[in-house]
Amino acid sequence: MLDSGNDFFNSLLEKWWGQILVGLSLFSLSVFVYRYLANLEDTGQSGSIHWLLALTYAVAGKWGSTLILAVPGVVSIGVGIRNLLVALRGDEK
């Protein structure tokens, strides 16, 4: 049963629109994380976050926690746009 989920994700990443969709999702999640951490800092409250985000927050602050999601998102969007342009030119392999 797990293979079908991996097959779906792999087939999604093989298409230009899937790469852009995954990139937009990651970038949107990074915006949410930034706003969540900024809200916690502004109000002085405590909250729970994933340990990897907590580690990057402890080392690099909220920008580090944001960039760990935003950079792969932007790269995925860029790859998707490049693949779209290649497909439009007809240079597909």
Dump pLDDT digits (tens) for 17-34.
Answer: 999 999 999 999 999 999
Residue 78 lies in a domain: yes
Does 7 fall in a domain? no
Q: How confident is the model at residue 47 (pLDDT cuts 50, 70, 90)?
A: confident
Range of the structural domain that residue 49 is part of: 17-89
Q: Does a structural domain hold residue 12? A: no
Helices and strands: H and E segment counts in the chain: 3, 0
Query: Does 52 fall in a domain?
Result: yes
pLDDT score recorded for residue 1: 44
Asked whether residue 69 is domain-assigned, the answer is yes
13 touches 6 (CB < 8 A): no
Global pTM reads 0.81
